[in-house]
C-alpha cells in the first residue's frame, strides 16, 4: 500500500500486479524526493530557514561570509541587517527594541543634545534582566551618525519606583554587577 496521502494515491486495483507495484513505488519515491527538493528550495527564499543559500543573503546585506559560524548566528545577522534597512525613525527603533527584548518600549527624543533614549514598559514598575547588547548594536548600525543613543541603566529613582528595600537584597543574593545590569520596566500609563 502507498504511503502517499489519500488524495495522491492511485486506486488500489493498480496494486494487484507486481510490475505495476514496482512502477508505482518508483514513481512515489521520485515524487517524494522531488517534493523534498521543492520544500528545500522554498526554504532558501527566507533568511530564517535558508541553509545552502545563506551566503547569498549575507552577500546581499554586506555581511562577511563565515561558514564556520552556526546557522542560527548567521541567520540572526541576516535578519538584523534586513531589519536595519531603510530610513531610521523613532518607530522603527521602538519596534526593533520590542522584537529583540519582548518588552514594549518608548523612545524619547532629546533634541537639545541630539540624543534619544529608550525606556522599557510593562504592566507594573519592576526590574528585569534584559540583554540590551543586541539592541544597542542594532540601533548603532541604523541610527544617524549625529545622534547619540542612550539606554540608561538603573537610577535611584528607578529603585524607589519599584519599591526595592535592603530586605530585597537580603532575600535575593546577587552581585552588584548583576544588579546593575538589570533594567527598570516602567508601568504603562
pLDDT along the chain (189 residues), means of 10: 67 85 89 92 92 92 90 88 72 84 87 87 83 80 83 77 80 79 80
Cα separation values, 11 from 2, 6, 21, Å:
10, 10, 12
Residue from 141, 139, 159 nearest 149 by CA: 139
Q: State the Cα–Cα distance between residues 19 and 23, nearest whole angstrom.
A: 6
pTM of the model: 0.51
What is residue 110's DSSP assignment?
A: E
Three-state DSSP at 66 gives: coil
The pLDDT of residue 84 is 63
Instruction: Give the span between the Cα atoms of 78 and 32, in whole angstroms.
Output: 31
Task: Tell me what pLDDT residue 54 has.
Answer: 93
Indicate the helix (H) or strand (E) that contains 16: none
Cell 520544500, residue located: 39
Amino acid at each position: 500500500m502507498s504511503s502517499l496521502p489519500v488524495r495522491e494515491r492511485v486506486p488500489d486495483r493498480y496494486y494487484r500486479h507486481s510490475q505495476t507495484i514496482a512502477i508505482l513505488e518508483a514513481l512515489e519515491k521520485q515524487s517524494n524526493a522531488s517534493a523534498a527538493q521543492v520544500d528545500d528550495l522554498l526554504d532558501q527564499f527566507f533568511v530564517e530557514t535558508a541553509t545552502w543559500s545563506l551566503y547569498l543573503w549575507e552577500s546581499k546585506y554586506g555581511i562577511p561570509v563565515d561558514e564556520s559560524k552556526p546557522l542560527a548566528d548567521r541567520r540572526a545577522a541576516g535578519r538584523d541587517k534586513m531589519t536595519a534597512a531603510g530610513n531610521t525613525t523613532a518607530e522603527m527603533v521602538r519596534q526593533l527594541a520590542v522584537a529583540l527584548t519582548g518588552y514594549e518600549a518608548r523612545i524619547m527624543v532629546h533634541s537639545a543634545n541630539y540624543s534619544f533614549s529608550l525606556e522599557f514598559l510593562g504592566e507594573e514598575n519592576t526590574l528585569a534582566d534584559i540583554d540590551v547588547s543586541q539592541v544597542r548594536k542594532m540601533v548603532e548600525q541604523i541610527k544617524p551618525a549625529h545622534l547619540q543613543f542612550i539606554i540608561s541603566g538603573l537610577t535611584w529613582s528607578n529603585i524607589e519606583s519599584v519599591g526595592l528595600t535592603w530586605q530585597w537584597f537580603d532575600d535575593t543574593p546577587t552581585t552588584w554587577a548583576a544588579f546593575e545590569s538589570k533594567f527598570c520596566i516602567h508601568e504603562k500609563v
